[in-house]
Amino acid sequence: DAGVTQSPTHLIKTRGQQVTLRCSPKSGHDTVSWYQQALGQGPQFIFQYYEEEERQRGNFPDRFSGHQFPNYSSELNVNALLLGDSALYLCASSLLGWETQYFGPGTRLLVL
Amino acid sequence: QKEVEQDPGPLSVPEGAIVSLNCTYSNSAFQYFMWYRQYSRKGPELLMYTYSRGNKEDGRFTAQVDKSSKYISLFIRDSQPSDSATYLCAMKEKKSSGDKLTFGTGTRLAVRP
């Protein structure tokens, strides 16, 4: 049973560019959440998608947007990249309303 | 003040020691408590999950919740070098409030052979 997968594993961008990160949830899961983890910090909640709708959002600007597809996979888009967006971006999948979320390996984004 | 506080460590112990990891929180609405283990440059791996109060044991790991003190703990018995990782506590409010997890900063643990 494949767990949560994310692509790409690493990415280097320059300030002002746009980036798209992808996530496939664990088999049987219908809900995808995205987190940002800066170096030496715990993950910070960006938003959650269920039934192709944004269900809950954390304290992140509108530059961060997402999408969920009918097969439950998801994308995270970040526009107008800033140096401070450099971080590990984690995708977590779950069943709606269940307490446990399972994380993927993350995409490491470096903004120069 | 952060909602969840966790000592970043690093914590260094000899192999076989009992390890105690702790988090405090300020949001009394938290009802679900988790511990994740994160190896360097990897995603967090769920270790333990507890609801509201009491103890939960799974092999060498025991999770405790004290809601009156807003304090949770993870104990690792007979620690092994393979336990060397960052341990993250995470918390969630009741189901109707959404599924957002709030994490501590993580405690780095090193188990010396």
* pLDDT tens digit sequence for B26-44: 999 898 999 999 999 899 9
- Residue B108: both structure tokens together: 């780095």
The total of structural domains in chain B comes to 1
The total of structural domains in chain A comes to 1
pLDDT in tens, B9-25: 899 999 999 999 999 99
Contact call for B99 and A106, based on CB within 8 A: no
Q: How confident is residue B97, by pLDDT bands cut at 50, 70 and 90?
A: low
Contact call for B34 and A100, based on CB within 8 A: yes
Burial B79-96 (b: 16+ CB within 10 A, else e): beeebbbbbbbbbbbeee
Most A CBs within 10 A among B40, B56, B99, B107, hence the mutation to make, goes to: B99
pLDDT greater than 90 at residue B83: yes
Length of chain B: 113
What residues in B contact A48, CB-CB < 8 Å? 98-100
**Residue-range definition of the domain harbouring residue A59:** 5-111
Phi, psi at A66, each rounded to 5°: -145, 180
Lowest model confidence (mean pLDDT) among A28-37, A89-98, A102-111: A89-98
Question: For position A83, what pLDDT does the model report?
Answer: 97
What residues in B contact A40, CB-CB < 8 Å? 8, 105-106
pLDDT greater than 90 at residue A45: yes
What residues in A contact B101, CB-CB < 8 Å? 33, 35, 43, 45, 92, 101
**Among B8, B51, B101, whose Cβ lies nearest the Cβ of A45?**
B101
Q: Decide the pairing of beta strands A10-13 and A107-111.
A: parallel
Question: For position A1, what pLDDT does the model report?
Answer: 63
**Among A55, A96, A103, whose Cβ lies nearest the Cβ of B43?**
A103
Question: For position B93, what pLDDT does the model report?
Answer: 87
Contact call for B43 and A106, based on CB within 8 A: yes
Average pLDDT value for residue range B102-107? 96
Average pLDDT value for residue range A30-53? 95
Sign of CA pseudo-dihedral B101, B104, B105, B107: negative
Residue B87 maps to which CATH number? Answer: 2.60.40.10
Question: For position B95, what pLDDT does the model report?
Answer: 67
Place of tokens 């307490």: A99
**Residue-range definition of the domain harbouring residue B92:** 4-112
Residue A106 maps to which CATH number? Answer: 2.60.40.10
Cβ A65 vs Cβ A21: under 8 Å: no
d(CA A6, CA B21): 30
User: Å from B87 to nearest chain A CA?
Assistant: 10
